[in-house]
């Protein structure tokens, strides 16, 4: 898997969409591969269920984890018989490194307003031109379509193994009890305020270091520094 590009400081200014849609699909394809492997790892799934976890943290892009957490196994009489129970872990915390994303708005029952709310993968602010608003709408629609498509792909994998498996969307809506979104100092995004959403910032900030002699000299010449 190769999803690489120039560093933040060397990359050209972003216009329109700040990522490649094929990279987005590649990420889900890799997730699908390990998801299929996890579903066949009976020993690990049994061990996880025997640990009796009550809460799970799930990345907002992950369509595999909610399905895995939905499945609960039980070994009967030491045999290889596995009983599927539609119980699993009852509560999930959704986390996001990119701020608020379409799935999160859906879970909290809010609608996105791409006419003036910039999407996470664009360089826009709330001050957009008409063409930028159109691009923002396009990004929003494509994100929703990609999310629906991949949710369906993962659901087919789970449903093939366990017929009658609930939709990924249903699992998220039923079990998500809290959303934790990153506050990115490089990319400001809309932050709706509800009791269900908590914003976590500073994870990519380093400890403060002393100023260089040059900076100290320059700043000392002024009565005040902003």
> Domain extents for the chain?
21-76+83-224
Nearest to 38 by CA among 69, 8, 60, 12: 69
> pTM for this structure?
0.74
The beta strands (E) that lie in the chain are given as 55-59, 71-72, 85-86, 91-96, 176-183, 197-201
Residue-wise pLDDT tens for the chain (226 aa)? 454 555 545 666 666 676 777 878 888 898 899 888 888 887 887 777 777 778 888 888 888 888 887 765 544 433 333 333 334 678 889 988 777 888 888 888 888 888 888 887 777 877 889 988 998 888 888 888 988 999 999 999 888 888 888 888 888 888 899 999 887 666 566 678 888 988 887 655 567 778 788 877 877 777 655 4
């Amino acid at each position: 898997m190769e999803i690489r590009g120039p560093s933040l400081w060397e990359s050209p200014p972003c216009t329109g969409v700040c990522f490649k849609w094929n990279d987005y699909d590649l990420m889900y394809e890799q997730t699908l591969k390990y998801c299929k492997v996890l579903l066949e790892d009976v020993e690990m799934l049994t061990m996880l269920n025997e640990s009796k976890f009550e809460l799970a943290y799930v990345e907002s892009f992950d369509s595999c984890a909610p399905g895995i957490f939905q499945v609960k196994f039980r070994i009967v009489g030491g045999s290889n018989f596995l009983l599927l129970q539609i119980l699993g872990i009852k509560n999930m915390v959704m986390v996001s490194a990119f701020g608020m994303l379409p799935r999160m708005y859906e879970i909290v029952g809010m609608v996105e307003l791409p006419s003036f709310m910039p999407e996470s993968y664009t360089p826009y602010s709330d001050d957009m031109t008409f063409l930028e608003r159109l691009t923002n709408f396009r990004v929003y629609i494509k994100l929703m379509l990609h999310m629906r498509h991949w949710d369906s792909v993962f659901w087919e994998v789970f449903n093939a193994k366990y017929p009658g498996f609930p939709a990924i969307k249903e699992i998220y809506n039923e079990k998500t009890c809290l959303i934790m979104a990153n506050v990115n100092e490089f990319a400001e995004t809309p932050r709706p305020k509800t009791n269900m959403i908590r914003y976590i910032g500073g994870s990519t900030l380093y400890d403060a270091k002393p100023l260089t002699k040059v900076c100290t000299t320059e700043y000392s010449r002024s009565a005040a520094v902003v």
